[in-house]
Structure 1
Amino acid sequence: MNAIRIMGVALLGLLILNVVSLGLLWRITGPQGGSQAAEFLMHELKFDATQRKAYWELIHQHRDQMQKLEFERIQSRNQLYDNLGKGDTTQFGVLRQIQGKTELITFRHFQAVRNLGTPQQQQRFDHIIKEVLRKMEHSQQPAQRPRNKPN
C-alpha cells in the first residue's frame, strides 16, 4: 500500500512538472503566428510607442487568461473520454462553457485593443479585425498533412 501511495505522489508530481514546463515553454515562445497577427495589427494601425507598450500588456493578460482556459479544456476533454465507456456526456456542457468564456475573453481583449486607438485608428481597426482573427486562427491550426490522391 505504501508503494502505491509513493507512486501516486510521484505521478502527481510529474504531472504538475509537465504542466508547468509546457506553460513556461508556451509563455517563452508564444503561440506561433500570434505575434504575426500582433505585428500586423500594430503596423496597420500605426501604433506609437505608448500604444505598442499598452498593446503588449493586453496581449500578455489575454494569453494568461487563455492558458488557464486551455488547461480547463484539456482536463474536461480528458474527463469526457475517461467516461466514454459509461456514455456520460456531462462534460460537453463544461466544454461549451469554456468555449463561451474563450470567445468572451477574446472579444473583450479586442474591445480593449480598439480603445487604445484614436478615432481614425478605431475606424481602421474595424476594417481589419476579421483579418487579424483569421491570422490568429491560422496560426493555431496544426499543420495539415498532404492527402494521398486515390488512384
Structure 2
Amino acid sequence: MKNSNNRILTIAVVLLLIANIALVAFLVMGKKKNGDGPRGKGDPSEMLAKELNMTEEQKKEHKLLKGEHLKNIKPLFDSVRAAKTAFYALLKDSTVSDSVLDIYSRKITEQQSTIDKLTFAHFKRIRNLFTAEQQTKFDTFVQKMMQRGRKDSADKSK
C-alpha cells in the first residue's frame, strides 16, 4: 500500500513539474512574440518612428517634445490621482451629500479636461514635425492608439 501511494505521489509531482515548465516556457515565448511593452504592446514612440519612417532629426525633436510634455503633465496626473483618492475616501462617510460628490467629481473632470487639452496641443506640435504624407499616417496612428485596449459597447452585447 505504501509503495502504491509513493508511486502515485511521484507521478503527481512529475506531472506538476512538467505543467510548470510548460507554463514558464509559454510565458517566456509569449513575451518575445508580443513585444516589450505593457500587455504585449511595443513602445508607442518606437512604433510611431517606424510607421512614419521618421528621420533622425524628427526622432530627436519628438523626444524633446515628449519629455517636455511629460514633465508638464505628470503633476496633473498626480493631482487627478489624489482627487480620485479623496473622492473614493468619501465611501466611508454614510452621510455624504450629492452636492459634495458633485464638487469632488467636478474637480476630477476639470483636471482630466486640462490633461486632455494639453495632450491635444502636444499632438498638434508633434504633427507639425512631419511632412504632409507623414501627417496623414500620424493621424491614423493617433486614432489607433486612442482606441487601443478599448471595446465598443456593441462588442459587450455579443
Return the alpha-carbon distance in structure 1 between the equivalents of residues 139 and 53 of structure 2.
14
SS of aligned partner of 1:47 = coil
Return the alpha-carbon distance in structure 1 between the equivalents of residues 114 and 121 of structure 2.
10
Give 4+ residue runs of structure 1 displaced > 4 Å after superposition: 31-35
1:117-132 alignment runs, 5 A limit: 117-132=130-145
Aligned to 1:110: 123
Q: How many residues align?
A: 107
- Which ranges in structure 1 are unaligned for 5 or more consecutive residues? 1-30, 142-151
Aligned to 1:71: 78
CA RMSD of aligned residues (A): 2.3
TM-score of the superposition, structure 1-length normalised? 0.62
1:70-109 alignment runs, 5 A limit: 70-84=77-91, 85=93, 86-87=96-97, 88-89=100-101, 90-109=103-122
Aligned to 2:69: 62
- Which ranges in structure 2 are unaligned for 5 or more consecutive residues? 1-36, 151-158
TM-score of the superposition, structure 2-length normalised? 0.59
Return the alpha-carbon distance in structure 1 between the equivalents of residues 75 and 114 of structure 2.
11
Relative to structure 1, the CA distance from residue 57 to residue 35 in structure 2 (aligned partners, 3 Å threshold; closer, same or farther) is farther
Percent identity (aligned): 22
Larger RCO (CA within 8 A; separation ≥ 6): 1
